[in-house]
Chain A
Amino acid sequence: MGGHEDWHITENGLAQPTDLELVRKARRGDMAAFHGLVARHGLYLYRLAVRLLGNASDAEDAVQETLAGAHRGLKSFGERSSVKTWLTRILVRQSARQLQRRTRRAVVPLQHAQAAPLADSASEGSDVRMDVQAAIEALGGDHRTVIVLRELEGLSYEEISQVLEIPPGTVESRLFRARRQLQDLLREYMD
Chain B
Amino acid sequence: MNDCSKTPNVSAYHDGELTPQAQADFESHLAACESCSRQLDRLRQLTALLRRVEAPAADGQLLDRLHVHADTLPRVGAVRRLAQTLAAVAAGIVVVCAVALTQGSPAPAEAAPAWESEALTPPSPETAQVTSEAAMAGWVLQDLAGKD
Please give the residue numbers on chain A whose beta carbons come within 8 Å of chain B beta carbons, in ascending order: 26-29, 31, 34-35, 38-39, 42-43, 46-47, 50-51, 56, 59-60, 63-64, 67-68, 71, 74-75, 128-129, 132-133, 136, 147, 150-152, 156-157, 172-173, 175-176, 179, 182-183, 186, 189-191
Contact = CB atoms under 8 A, between A and B. Distances in A.
A152 B66 contact: no
Contacts of A176: 8, 11
Given A29-B77, A179-B43, A47 B49 contact: no
Contacts of A175: 11, 15
A186 B49 contact: yes
Contacts of B77: 28-29
Given A128-B49, A129-B52, 12 more contacts: A29-B76, A34-B70, A42-B66, A47-B56, A60-B65, A67-B73, A71-B76, A132-B49, A136-B50, A147-B50, A157-B17, A176-B11
B40 to A, nearest CB: 11
Chain B interface size range: 20 to 34
B55 interface: yes
A11 B11 CA distance: 35
B85 to A, nearest CB: 15
B71 interface: yes
A133 B53 contact: yes
Given A35-B70, A172-B8, A176-B8, A29 B75 contact: yes
A39 B53 contact: no
B55 A132 contact: no
A163 to B, nearest CB: 16
Contacts of A74: 76
Contact of B58 (A31, A43, A68, A157): A43
A64 B56 CA distance: 17
Contacts, number: 106
Q: Chain B: interface secondary structure?
A: helix
Contact of B42 (A26, A129, A183): A183
Nearest to B63: A42
Interface in B41-83: 41-43, 45-47, 49-56, 58, 62-63, 65-67, 69-71, 73, 75-78
B63 A38 contact: yes
Contacts of A156: 15, 17
Nearest to B58: A46
A65 to B, nearest CB: 10
Contacts of B43: 179
B125 to A, nearest CB: 80
Contacts of B54: 129
